[in-house]
Amino acid sequence: MIFFDGHVHFFWTGSLKPVRPKWQPLIDRGLRGIAAIIISHHPDDVDNLLKLIPSSYHDRTGDPFFFNEKAGFRISTAQNMDEDNFKIFPYLDSRFIERESADLSVYRKKGFKGLKILYIPEEDSELGILGWEIFFRRSKKESEKLIIFMLEQAFSFGWPVIFHADLRRYKGFVKEILQAKPGHPVIIPHFGSSRKIIAELMEQYECCFTDFSSLLPFMKKETKKYIDFTTTFNNRILFGSDTVFGEPGLTTEYFDFIMTSISDDNIRTNILSNNYKRIHGYIN
């Protein structure tokens, strides 16, 4: 069955040759592409870098596994892993970008095709992230202005947007984003940390999408609740794993779960393939 992983963190440098065989079993099963979330602009100091990376990823982040153009890696190189019709869609992860580096046309020229925002204006103890207020000494209002500036550019480029935000804390600002450009796809991953609120937003805004990346442990624990929710909103939910580029085994776990938990082929196809294609303009 054809499918796509819409949420993969691209912590990688150098050649794709070592990692290509790891993805081959999934390609053989129908995987045709991934949305790769790439941090291009970041501090060189790994200790500082980790302050805006969830603590669960710290053991997999840092040289030589972190994206770094100084190592000679290029976005165009990443997209060349398209044998067997396997395509990488590169999202710019903007968490370290400040106003002086927020001209996204620079990243567009490098080959980026989408924008990822990890919205962390304040410390997030659940994720283990310091937050911009402490890291950059930037107020929440200043962060909002910067995010809007970047989003306006992304909208003008026609870039899809992955907007990670805890809806329990930032529902109001997310609604402003969804209202800013009606019809432009905005993916709020991880069900926005609230099935109730993300359902409300998807009912109100046709441009609002989500994914279940990072939620597999909860989906396994409360399978009926999560599958009922996923089935109800199957035309707005993308398949996503939240794995890192060098560890595709997590994608396999998510795929197996969906294949065994959802029997309706039309619903599975929407989640595994159609919704991804709608947003990313995938061409066979």
Q: CA-to-CA distance for 213 and 241, rounded, in angstroms? A: 4
pLDDT digits (tens, 9 = 90+) for 181-217: 999 999 999 999 999 999 999 999 999 999 999 999 9
Range of the domain at 255: 3-280
Q: What's the token pair of residue 266?
A: 């039309």
CATH code assigned at 198: 3.20.20.140
Residue 49 pLDDT class (50, 70, 90 cuts):
confident
Other C-beta atoms lying within 10 Å of the C-beta of residue 275: 25
Say what the pTM is. Answer: 0.94
| Residue 37 β-bridge partners | 9, 91
CB 214: neighbour CB atoms within 10 A?
20
Report residue 276 as tokens.
């991804």
pLDDT-above-90 percentage for the chain: 72
Instruction: Give the residue, 56 or 142, on which the prediction is more confident.
Output: 142
Write the secondary structure of 121-142 as one string of H (helix), E (strand) and C (coil): CCCECCCCECCHHHHCCCCHHH
Look at the chain and report how many structural domains it folds into: 1
